């Protein structure tokens, strides 16, 4: 048996899926998370059944890519479990009636049932079940309430055989059903609801957004620096550094193998950042410098998602984003890009037009440094003072605004209005936040570490072969006259195609001034995307638009780098 989980965004479908299958999927509090479907297995009456988490959709009349996928997948299922938000019955019933007009057995799960009491909503479940003609089960996915009863209802799911209606007839039926089964009692607004209203108003919302983002980045830095100073740095020095020193002594402190494993040694001291060996920098940089900020960023992002703040931020920023040829939804890929550009480019699928997806993906690749690169910027540039870090971020933000306005001006097409359903604020569940954090951190390590290790080995071998000396001589005029950097910096820019955080680490041994580090950091952040992001760009935009996007990146990086060099 193949069971499809279908419903609108923000109804808790992915959480229901996790309850049924145990598969650790992302369950975020904003639409678009499940553009790609996920499948797992569960037991129904002792037999193994396939469960598919279908992309969230408001209707079976597709208006975007996710809804097109949902419609295509409807023909694949034996049973549909229609997950609804019990506190938003009228909005969710439209999709339910469309499903009941199809020749497919349906079970309705009234999810978020606990919130109906909090909001003064009373639903006559027995009468709703009678009117729809299919099993209706109240559930609370986050706690597991009603999930067992929902699974037991799947074998007795039936085809309701509702006559097909027009759109207007369907909405009229929705109104009649809602009036028949739902009673809302009067009550005063809670402070949470008043806060929810304030977060989307221009003045109050802007103040709240500034405070939330400032606190978020302060928390990220606090968590990251605490992990480095009190946990990972001491562990490296006490447990791993003696091993590295022993290997170095055993190899006699020189030779090709020593260069690959340990790296460069200055005055008998192995610097965990500047040595750039497989066992030294290869362990310290990803685990003790980058990983703490990755953990901190994804932890804070998970809290904002599950609380329900991100959709409100999208609404608040919608008018401003339109000036960049986007709507407020684009803030979601932008924020994801601060963690990793790969999921950020993939998240541009939630934007409705190809023009919007191109602009958003290009701006993310050009002006949004990933968490790994940010960790290196804070570590290297920040050692000279916070003002240089602010200069890097200020330049990238200005590039994001100016380049977005230019692309909006010269690219044909329009930006559709933002139509978004704002979820209620909810307290995040620690277990859900931690599971999401583990999934994201695990994905980062699985993707990044092999490339990082391969880059260190490859770079050291090329360095021993003298390849970078030749490259530095060829690129010397560009590097020294335009960007004001030593010719050896071309090595870092070339490595940026593999990993930008690795590339920035290569600048550490060059003894650059703070101003040169600012120029190098900006050029590296804006230039050719890392290989993982490039692969995703090819898949999402196609070869032609990827070539255009890459050309924009390189031209912008050289222009801004040259201007920064002239000013500084």
d(CA 314, CA 304): 12
Same domain (yes/no): 171, 221: no
Is 523 contained in some domain? yes
pLDDT at 356: 84
Number of domains in the chain: 2
Which range marks the domain in which residue 61 is found?
Answer: 2-184
Left, alpha or beta for 64 (phi > 0: left; psi -120 to 50: alpha)? beta
Judgement on whether residues 495 and 399 belong to the same structural domain of the protein: yes
Which tens digit of pLDDT belongs to each residue from 245-261?
999 988 888 888 988 89
* Residue 230 in this model has a pLDDT that exceeds 90: yes
Average pLDDT of the segment spanning 134-160 = 88
In a domain, 195, yes or no: no
Residue 345: both structure tokens together: 């480019």
In the DSSP assignment, the letter for residue 60 is: S
Confidence of residue 24 (pLDDT cuts 50, 70, 90): very low
Does 486 reside within a domain? Answer: yes
Q: pLDDT band for 321, please (50, 70, 90 cuts).
A: confident
* 377 and 461 part of one domain: yes
Look over the chain and give the mean of its residue pLDDT values, rounded to a whole number.
83
Identify the domain boundary among 184, 218, 253.
184
Same domain for 174 and 244?
Answer: no
Could you report the per-residue pLDDT of 162-190, keeping only the tens digit for each? Answer: 989 999 999 999 999 999 999 988 666 67
Please, what is the Cα angle at 325 between 323 and 326, to 5 degrees? 100
Check whether residue 213 and residue 355 sit in a common domain. Answer: yes
Separation between Cα atoms, residue 266 and residue 502, nearest integer Å: 20
Rounded percentage of the chain residues whose pLDDT exceeds 90: 24
Q: Directed axis angle between helix 371-380 and helix 514-526, to 10°?
A: 170
Residues 385 and 461 in one domain: yes
Query: Does a structural domain hold residue 130?
Result: yes
Domain harbouring 142, CATH code: 3.40.50.300
191 in a domain, yes or no?
A: no
> Same structural domain for residues 279 and 155?
no
Query: Regarding beta strands 47-53 and 2-6, do their DSSP bridges make them parallel or antiparallel, or are they unpaired?
Result: parallel
Pair (258, 383) in one structural domain: yes
pLDDT at 32: 45
Q: Which of 311, 405, 365 is nearest to 538 (CA)?
A: 365
The string of pLDDT tens digits covering residues 494-547 is 777 666 777 787 777 778 888 988 998 999 889 877 766 777 788 778 889 989
- If phi > 0 it is left, if psi is from -120 to 50 it is alpha, else beta; for residue 32 that is left
Domain boundary among 184, 210, 241: 184
Query: What pLDDT is stored for residue 172 in this prediction?
Result: 94
Q: What is the helix, strand, coil percentage profile of the chain, to 5?
A: 65, 10, 25
Q: Tell me the percentage of the chain whose pLDDT exceeds 70.
A: 91
Same domain, 235 and 116: no
pLDDT at 371: 79
**For 69, left (φ over 0), alpha (ψ -120 to 50), or beta?**
alpha
Regarding predicted confidence, which is higher, 3 or 539?
Answer: 3
């Amino acid at each position: 048996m193949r069971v499809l989980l279908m419903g609108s965004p923000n109804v808790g479908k992915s959480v229901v899926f996790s309850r049924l299958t145990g598969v650790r999927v992302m369950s975020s509090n904003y639409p678009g998370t499940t553009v790609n479907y996920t499948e797992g297995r569960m037991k129904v009456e002792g037999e193994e059944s396939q469960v598919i988490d279908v992309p969230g959709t408001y209707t079976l009349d597709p208006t975007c890519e996710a809804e097109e996928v949902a419609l295509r997948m409807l023909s694949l299922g034996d049973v549909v479990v229609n997950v609804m938000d019990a506190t938003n019955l009228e909005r969710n019933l439209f999709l339910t009636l469309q499903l009941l007009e199809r020749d497919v057995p349906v079970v309705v799960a009234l999810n978020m049932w606990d919130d109906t009491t909090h909001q003064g909503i009373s639903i006559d479940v027995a009468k709703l079940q009678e009117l729809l003609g299919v099993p209706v089960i109240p559930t609370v996915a986050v706690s597991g309430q009603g999930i067992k009863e929902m699974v037991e209802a799947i074998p007795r799911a039936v085809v309701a055989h509702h006559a097909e209606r027009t759109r207007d007839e369907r909405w009229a039926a929705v109104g009649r059903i809602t009036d028949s089964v739902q009673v809302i009692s009067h009550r005063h607004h809670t402070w949470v609801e008043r806060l929810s209203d304030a977060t989307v108003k221009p003045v109050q919302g802007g103040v709240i957004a500034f405070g939330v983002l400032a606190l978020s980045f302060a928390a990220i830095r606090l968590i990251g620096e605490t992990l480095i100073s009190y946990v990972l740095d001491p562990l490296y020095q006490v447990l791993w550094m003696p091993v590295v020193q022993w290997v170095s002594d055993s190899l006699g402190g020189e030779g090709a193998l020593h260069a690959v494993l340990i790296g460069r040694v200055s005055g008998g001291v192995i610097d965990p950042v500047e040595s750039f060996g497989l066992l030294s920098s290869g362990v310290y940089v990803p685990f003790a410098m980058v990983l703490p900020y990755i953990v901190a960023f994804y932890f804070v992002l998970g809290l904002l998602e599950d609380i329900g703040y991100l959709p409100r931020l999208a609404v608040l920023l919608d008018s401003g984003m339109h000036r960049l040829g986007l709507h407020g939804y684009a803030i979601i890929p932008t924020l994801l890009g601060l963690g990793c550009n790969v999921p950020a480019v993939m998240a541009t699928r939630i934007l409705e037009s190809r023009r919007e997806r191109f602009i958003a993906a290009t701006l993310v690749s050009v002006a949004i440094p990933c968490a790994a690169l940010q960790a290196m910027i804070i570590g290297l540039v920040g050692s000279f003072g916070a003002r240089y870090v602010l200069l890097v971020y200020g330049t990238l933000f200005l590039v994001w605004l100016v380049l977005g306005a230019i692309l909006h001006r010269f690219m044909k097409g329009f930006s559709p209005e933002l139509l978004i359903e704002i979820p209620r604020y909810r307290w995040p569940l620690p277990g859900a936040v931690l599971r999401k954090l583990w999934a994201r951190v695990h994905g980062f390590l699985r993707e990044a570490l092999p490339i990082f290790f391969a880059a260190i080995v490859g770079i050291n071998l090329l360095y021993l072969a003298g390849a970078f000396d030749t490259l530095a001589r060829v690129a010397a005029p560009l590097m020294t006259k335009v960007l004001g950097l030593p010719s050896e910096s071309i090595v870092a820019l070339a490595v940026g195609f593999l990993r930008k955080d690795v590339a920035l680490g290569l600048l550490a041994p060059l003894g650059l001034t703070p101003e040169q580090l600012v120029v190098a950091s900006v050029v590296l952040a804006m230039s050719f995307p890392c290989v993982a992001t490039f692969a995703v760009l090819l898949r999402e935009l196609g070869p032609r638009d990827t070539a255009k996007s890459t050309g924009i990146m390189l031209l912008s990086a050289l222009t801004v780098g040259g201007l920064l060099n002239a000013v500084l």
